[in-house]
Amino acid sequence: MNDALDALFKPRAVALIGASAKELSIGNVIIKNLIHYRFNGPVYPINPKVDEIRGLKAYPSILDVPGEVDLAHIVIPPPFVPEEVENCGKKGIKAIIINTAGFKEMGAEGQALENDFLKRAAKYGIRIVGPNCQGIINSDPAINAYCNFTFTFPHPGHISVVAQSGGVGAVLMQAFHDMGVGQRMYASNGNGSDVSITEFISYYGKDEETRAIVLYAESLGNPLEFIEVVKKVTARKPVLAITAGRTDKGAEASRSHIGGLAGSISMDLIYKKAGILTFHNQEELCHAAVALSSQPVPKGNRVGIITNTGGPSVIAIDELVSCGLTLPPLSANAIETLKGTMLESASIRNPLDVVATAGPLHFRSALEVMMNEEQYDSIYLNFVTPPFVDCESVAREITSAARAGNKPVVCNYMTDKQEWRSTSAILKEGKIPCFDFAETAARALYSLVRYNSILSSEKGKIKLFADVEKERVRMILTDAHHQNREVLSAHDVYSILDAYKIPVAPWKVASDVKEVVYVAGQIGFPVVIKADSEQIIHKSDVGGVAVNIMTTAEANAAVEKMKSTLGGGMRFLVQKCLVPGRELIIGAKASPGTGPIIMFGLGGIFVEVLKDVAFAISPLSDTEASEMISSIKAAALINGFRGQKGINKAKTVEIIQRISMLCNDFPIIKELDLNPLFATGDDICVVDARIIL
Amino acid sequence: MNDALDALFKPRAVALIGASAKELSIGNVIIKNLIHYRFNGPVYPINPKVDEIRGLKAYPSILDVPGEVDLAHIVIPPPFVPEEVENCGKKGIKAIIINTAGFKEMGAEGQALENDFLKRAAKYGIRIVGPNCQGIINSDPAINAYCNFTFTFPHPGHISVVAQSGGVGAVLMQAFHDMGVGQRMYASNGNGSDVSITEFISYYGKDEETRAIVLYAESLGNPLEFIEVVKKVTARKPVLAITAGRTDKGAEASRSHIGGLAGSISMDLIYKKAGILTFHNQEELCHAAVALSSQPVPKGNRVGIITNTGGPSVIAIDELVSCGLTLPPLSANAIETLKGTMLESASIRNPLDVVATAGPLHFRSALEVMMNEEQYDSIYLNFVTPPFVDCESVAREITSAARAGNKPVVCNYMTDKQEWRSTSAILKEGKIPCFDFAETAARALYSLVRYNSILSSEKGKIKLFADVEKERVRMILTDAHHQNREVLSAHDVYSILDAYKIPVAPWKVASDVKEVVYVAGQIGFPVVIKADSEQIIHKSDVGGVAVNIMTTAEANAAVEKMKSTLGGGMRFLVQKCLVPGRELIIGAKASPGTGPIIMFGLGGIFVEVLKDVAFAISPLSDTEASEMISSIKAAALINGFRGQKGINKAKTVEIIQRISMLCNDFPIIKELDLNPLFATGDDICVVDARIIL
């Protein structure tokens, strides 16, 4: 055993504690499945009341089993589980799948039982899958382990699945099976009390035969570890995930189902940070996994199309172009060659319509030419099986021409699968991923392009700024913390921003009218005067902000008015009134289990009406910060528009990175809001800010 | 025969002109298909060189056929087609499917042949399908007509398909077949030289057994007629369409393929106007058709969820909520009832998790309770088949409880279809639409809700304003037309707007400096001065606009500068300089075959950066105009935002309707642009406008 999980996925013998002779019981179904899948080792049913189950000798206790056992299932009621884990330890068992439900998810009592069996397992070095789970499958013909109570029996392949929800896992497994696509390993770990999703992905990552990993999770125990580990996996092979709980209602069902915590936004961001391909749609994910596990990664987004029917080509182009793929024209050379090899009615361009009557040699030539054209990174194929064409030979030519090249090929294969079974078999044998619809095939091709973008994307650098005054910030935050202040005063907020060299509109604090007038003179009119008190969060709503103060008299009047409205005792923040530029917003929010989540957007209506903002998990590299900026819908405004100059992107990236560093350095900061910043000419400057602990 | 198309869809006998003994030829495949599908009448192969084909006696000419013939296929080369059409006429044939390609789509010669056969067909009252097409199918067991060379043999059902592209039609037919769903009629009419898509839809509309109509078209011959006819069909049964050619590349492929003209935007708008449900995805359309052809229409968007597995319920809720459906909670009564009937571990709320071990009676009770709850319009069901549950009985209870209610039910049915064949058969027999994924089932349910919205939407009134001065506009446009002016002068444009009572910022025209100063005084400073010449379209780019002119001296200077920059000979438009309000844009564009396309949006960046505009085909009802306004993404701004007052919606609706009327009254107007209008307080006023003939 090379790995802690080998005992789980490559057990030499499996025992089932709680085996049952009753046909419709989990304790019987698992035995049935192990036999049906031809498990390559002994299976020991454990049941003190019967002698045999499904032809296998049953033993009263795990301790009575004669041979060595690597893996045990436990399907007995929760109160008896800890003791059986103890017995497994004595027996030398290394991995246990606890299928039984009724632990942590049922409250304190269940949590206590879970803690109990975990302690005992740790004592013996046993790894636990579950509780409240299905188990695992390994289709390796040398193993054939079906340690699971589900009903789909995958044949060997290159896709491995890990799912927190067994329901979703089973659907994905069934979908691959229905497509005639093999699978490698499967795991559903329910409550995930011990072996984590991260460990499963890491294990699949090391498995040579696994070429694509499929993930469904509703929460992650340790997101930071997840990101670190999975990032390394996704650099070598694709990981595909469904993002569950996108809407609030979905998130609510998810939370109450498994007791998870992570919100929907942060799951998406965690996946992005880990280099995972995310999908909102299970079927699309399955199609992508089929393409990614069988085809080379394309070098770019340029696609050549070959078709023997018109309409589906229109639909394919719609989808491909919507996904950002391009269709470069054929070279003059290629056109010349194809004029000699195609039928007269063929349309020689990209898309190349070989027409419905095209035979094997037309398809071969079409594929060969496109494979050799430098300007195509991948080939999209529409292949309908006309009843007046020798389709088997066409399929043979397609597969051999595809194999000869090193570009990915995906096929929209339109046929009656019963009638054209032999043709289908040839395409399958030739590893051409075939889909039933033009859009579907196009999106599968797009997933290959997306994975190439992940592989080839610049990671950038996480800059640690040496000029920040950490100690000064620490003192301010410690004071506030000791005084139980959750909302920082403007003075504290601007001091913190100053310490981290984040440009703020010139400001001073004054304690009375006289000082206000004095510092306003120093700063220079026009100024803004703000009542500075921790008690007032939305200052402008209560008359705590006076803008565009032009003279000493106006300053006097403004302060008097605030005092009479808000009562005395507060200080005043006097700030330079800047010429309004393009408004920006930058925010940060602590996120349990990960670095703070950073937000960027254009201010005002862009945030509040159009919700046009970008999020990312810190720490942020310059590339990530830059991507945030260019990913908003109104990004064109940032580059300048209608004669208006754009904003200084380099300075924006730096401010985002400094905020990221600040919030990483001080996790006590729960929320930070720079809203707005003004971008005027080449300058960017914070005009208002808030920090909440 | 009650209908011109009865001869086509219910032929008593079919002849095939160009029948062939060669197995891989269209002339043979069609004979094979007619026999295989058990056509309920004689089939006459026509071929002067052989005596029999596939066991059927062949005749040298259609004129030699002994019995009456309603329908003939013609598969011979184009030059021979017109004469055979003539012969068909002599024989008394009423409908012909011309499968042969090589007519209009190949240029002038082909067009001449097409005209020739059309003239002959008209003489005899023959209807033509094609050329360059597949043909038709009618699965009515009394007919069994497979007059088509495709390879899928649908069993009887309630979905009828009409496709311009046979390739797409065949894919859709195959998809229904693969899902085990029956079909009613099928037609693919290729070039559509005679029988139009509109006629097919109208025919399906009258067919009792057709409950959902599926359409794929790349262009429409007569969009106005299409809208009028199809609107009446969609009021009775759903029509579902794929919108092809969404992207420019897609539209390009579409145009060159079939010779169609309609652009992608206008197809979408035509479909919307006709009450068609549009889809960008064939598979989603197929799923929707299955739900719509088998389930009642829900009364609203409130859904109750029953599930026996957790994760798929999270995914379903995500999708349903994203689609705008709501999940009202269970009533107190329902909770009480369910407490008595559910398993202890069940989660009694909406979603109702009956848990994996739930048996037949748990499902029955769950469905009965939800069916009786007034607050649900439809039921979504997640049903995985656990190996430890009597799933056949569950299926039986589901179908009987569903039948007893009058609400639609859709099911995400998660199973191995081979192993659970008998369970699947029960659900199918019970007309429960079953889908493989939670999202897929959710979106099928959503299509039912969409159709309900179409049925129940207010149509509104198309107002014909009595106060417009049509004659005045006619004179201006006639003059411009006679003088070959394509771009109207500002004077003409504003006069036209005045004539249609569209509010314009006060304006006067002046021919020299003296007049400018005089009228500026009359209008009142500040004013805008614009050089008014048909030669200058983008005035501001060439110095032809001077804004914010405050005094006589400034007016003098501005006019002199324009004269020196632009040369003499132009007039000047002097216009009141309004306080900038919220900018709006309203436009219109002539569209071949339909009423003009009207556009609405917020001006500036909302149009130019965010492309946030709405389109619709005129004439527009008040409801349609109002929907345009509320359909833009930034609609919240229209209702007011951050203390800023919203715009006057009633006035905006009126202006849109007046523009719609203007462009309908004068189709000579190619493009009209009100950009911007200023919405200030309760007023809305055109500030700049352009009309192009």
Which chain A positions have a beta carbon within 8 Å of B610's beta carbon?
A: 610, 633-634
* Contact with chain A for residue B24, Cβ under 8 A: yes
Site of tokens 């610049």: A458
Residue of A nearest to B389 (CA): A24
**What is the C-alpha separation between A179 and B344, in angstroms, rounded?**
37
Whether B313 and A26 lie within 8 Å, measured CB to CB? no
How close is the nearest chain B Cα to the Cα of A170, in Å?
Answer: 8
* Contact with chain B for residue A146, Cβ under 8 A: no
Contacts for B568 with CB less than 8 Å, ≥ 6 apart: none
Whether B216 and A26 lie within 8 Å, measured CB to CB? no
In this complex, which of A249, A314, A321 lies closest to B257 when CB atoms are compared?
A314
Whether B283 and A152 lie within 8 Å, measured CB to CB? no
CATH homologous superfamily, domain A506-577: ATP-grasp fold, A domain (3.30.1490.20)
Whether A605 and B438 lie within 8 Å, measured CB to CB? no
* Contact with chain A for residue B540, Cβ under 8 A: no
Q: What is the pLDDT of residue A184?
A: 98
Q: Considering only residues 466 to 525 of chain A, which have any Cβ-Cβ distance to chain B shorter than 8 Å?
A: none
Burial class (CB in 10 A: 0-12, 13-18, 19+), B238: buried
Amino acid at B599: M
Residue of A nearest to B101 (CA): A345
What would the DSSP string read from start to end of A203-240? Answer: HHHH-TT--EEEEEES--S-HHHHHHHHHHHHTTS-EE
pLDDT band at residue A590 under the 50/70/90 scheme: confident
For residue range A90-142, what is the model confidence (pLDDT) as tens digits?
999 999 999 998 898 888 999 999 999 999 999 999 999 999 999 999 999 99
Angle between helices B223-234 and B197-206 (to 10 degrees): 20
Evaluate whether A269 touches A616 at the Cβ level (below 8 Å).
yes
**What is the C-alpha separation between B593 and B583, in angstroms, rounded?**
31
Whether A165 and B314 lie within 8 Å, measured CB to CB? yes
Q: What is the pLDDT of residue B641?
A: 73
* Contact with chain A for residue B75, Cβ under 8 A: no
Architecture of domain A1-137: 3-Layer(aba) Sandwich (3.40)
Measured in whole angstroms, how far is the alpha carbon of residue A67 from the centre of its chain? 43
- Work out whether the CA dihedral A154, A157, A162, A168 comes out positive or negative: negative
How close is the nearest chain A Cα to the Cα of B544, in Å?
Answer: 18
Q: What is the pLDDT of residue B1?
A: 46
* Contact with chain A for residue B417, Cβ under 8 A: yes
For residue range B90-130, what is the model confidence (pLDDT) as tens digits?
999 999 999 998 898 888 999 999 999 999 999 999 999 99
**What is the C-alpha separation between A511 and A282, in angstroms, rounded?**
61
Report the pLDDT averaged over residues A464-492.
94
| Residue A548 phi, psi dihedral angles, 5° rounding | 55, 45
Whether B317 and A258 lie within 8 Å, measured CB to CB? no
Which chain B positions have a beta carbon within 8 Å of A417's beta carbon?
A: 178
What would the DSSP string read from start to end of B160-228? Answer: EEEESSHHHHHHHHHHHHHTT--B-EEEE-TT-SSS-HHHHHHHHHH-TT--EEEEEES--S-HHHHHH
Residue of B nearest to A639 (CA): B609
Q: What is the mean pLDDT of each run of 10 residues along chain B (693 residues)?
A: 84 97 92 97 97 96 96 96 97 96 88 96 96 96 96 96 93 95 96 95 97 93 92 97 69 38 65 95 97 97 96 93 96 97 94 94 97 97 93 97 95 92 95 96 98 90 93 96 90 95 92 90 90 70 81 90 81 86 89 87 82 89 93 85 81 96 94 90 90 91
* Contact with chain A for residue B72, Cβ under 8 A: no
**What is the C-alpha separation between A363 and A416, in angstroms, rounded?**
20
How close is the nearest chain A Cα to the Cα of B199, in Å?
Answer: 21
Q: Could you give the maximum distance between any two Cα atoms of chain B, in Å?
A: 100
Q: Is the pLDDT of residue A570 over 90?
A: no
Whether B171 and A419 lie within 8 Å, measured CB to CB? no
* Contact with chain B for residue A163, Cβ under 8 A: yes
Whether B163 and A637 lie within 8 Å, measured CB to CB? no
| 3-class secondary-structure state, position B333 | helix
Count of beta carbons in the 10 Å neighbourhood of residue B82: 19
Whether A216 and B311 lie within 8 Å, measured CB to CB? yes
| A291, containing H or E segment | helix A282-294
Whether B633 and A642 lie within 8 Å, measured CB to CB? no
Contacts for B60 with CB less than 8 Å, ≥ 6 apart: B46, B47, B48
How close is the nearest chain B Cα to the Cα of A66, in Å?
Answer: 30
Q: What is the pLDDT of residue B254?
A: 42
Under 8 Å CB pairs connecting chains A and B tally to: 244
CATH among 3.90.1150.10, 3.40.50.720, 3.50.30.10, 3.40.50.970 for B1-134: 3.40.50.720
In this complex, which of A351, A387, A637 lies closest to B605 when CB atoms are compared?
A637
* Contact with chain B for residue A255, Cβ under 8 A: no
**What is the C-alpha separation between B246 and B249, in angstroms, rounded?**
8
Residue of A nearest to B248 (CA): A318
How close is the nearest chain B Cα to the Cα of A512, in Å?
Answer: 31
In this complex, which of A25, A321, A420 lies closest to B247 when CB atoms are compared?
A321
Q: Is the pLDDT of residue A255 over 70?
A: no
Segments in A309-359 forming alpha helices (H): 311-322, 332-341
Contacts for A68 with CB less than 8 Å, ≥ 6 apart: A12, A13, A92
B506-577 has the same fold as B150-294: no
Q: For chain B, what are the domain ranges?
A: 1-134, 150-294, 296-456, 459-505+579-693, 506-577
Which chain B positions have a beta carbon within 8 Å of A419's beta carbon?
A: 151
How close is the nearest chain B Cα to the Cα of A389, in Å?
Answer: 6
Residue B540 is classified by DSSP as: G
Q: What is the pLDDT of residue B638?
A: 84
Q: What is the pLDDT of residue A128?
A: 97
CA angle B20, B24, B26 (to 5 degrees): 55
Site of tokens 């919307």: B272
Which chain B positions have a beta carbon within 8 Å of A167's beta carbon?
A: 309-313, 382, 384, 414
Evaluate whether A434 touches A411 at the Cβ level (below 8 Å).
yes
Q: What is the pLDDT of residue B88?
A: 98
Whether A313 and B257 lie within 8 Å, measured CB to CB? yes
Q: Considering only residues 84 to 103 of chain A, which have any Cβ-Cβ distance to chain B shorter than 8 Å?
A: 101
- Please give the residue that has the higher pLDDT: either B394 or A637: B394
Look up residue A275 and give its two tokens.
Answer: 């280099």
Q: What is the pLDDT of residue B261?
A: 30
Whether A415 and B245 lie within 8 Å, measured CB to CB? no
Amino acid at B623: T
**What is the C-alpha separation between B146 and B476, in angstroms, rounded?**
59
| pLDDT mean across residues, chain B | 91
Contacts for A685 with CB less than 8 Å, ≥ 6 apart: A503, A504, A505, A578, A677, A678
* Contact with chain A for residue B438, Cβ under 8 A: yes
In this complex, which of B151, B167, B281 lies closest to A439 when CB atoms are compared?
B281
Of A70, A194, A79, A81, the residue nearest A128 (C-alpha): A194
* Contact with chain B for residue A242, Cβ under 8 A: yes
Burial class (CB in 10 A: 0-12, 13-18, 19+), B77: exposed
Architecture of domain B459-505+579-693: 2-Layer Sandwich (3.30)
For residue range A417-456, what is the model confidence (pLDDT) as tens digits?
888 999 999 999 999 999 999 999 999 999 999 999 999 9
Within chain B, how many helices (H) and strands (E) appear?
24, 31
* Contact with chain A for residue B171, Cβ under 8 A: yes
Q: Is the pLDDT of residue A538 over 70?
A: no
Q: Could you give the ipTM of this predicted complex?
A: 0.88
Evaluate whether B416 touches B305 at the Cβ level (below 8 Å).
no
Q: In what order do the strands lie in the sheet with B14-17?
A: B43-46, B14-17, B71-74, B95-98, B127-129
Of A228-242, A663-677, B278-292, give the lowest mean pLDDT range: A663-677
Strand A127-129 and strand A95-98: the pairing is parallel
**What is the C-alpha separation between A137 and A128, in angstroms, rounded?**
15
**Assigned fold of A296-456:** Rossmann fold (3.40.50)
Of A471, A530, A383, the residue nearest A665 (C-alpha): A471
* Contact with chain A for residue B310, Cβ under 8 A: yes
Residue of A nearest to B28 (CA): A388
Q: Is the pLDDT of residue A259 over 50?
A: no
Whether B634 and A609 lie within 8 Å, measured CB to CB? yes
User: What is the rounded radius of gyration, in angstroms, for the C-alpha atoms of chain A?
Assistant: 32
Evaluate whether A47 touches A17 at the Cβ level (below 8 Å).
no
Whether B642 and A608 lie within 8 Å, measured CB to CB? yes
Strand A582-589 and strand A597-602: the pairing is antiparallel
Contacts for B443 with CB less than 8 Å, ≥ 6 apart: B284, B287, B288, B319, B323
| 3-class secondary-structure state, position B73 | strand
Q: Considering the domain A582-692 in this protein, what is its CATH number?
A: 3.30.470.20
Evaluate whether A339 touches A330 at the Cβ level (below 8 Å).
no
Q: What is the pLDDT of residue A176?
A: 97
Whether B166 and A311 lie within 8 Å, measured CB to CB? yes
Whether A315 and B387 lie within 8 Å, measured CB to CB? no
Whether A436 and B637 lie within 8 Å, measured CB to CB? no
Domain B150-294: CATH class, spelled out: alpha beta
Which chain A positions have a beta carbon within 8 Å of B256's beta carbon?
A: 347
Look up residue A376 and give its two tokens.
Answer: 């195509």
Evaluate whether A122 touches A133 at the Cβ level (below 8 Å).
no
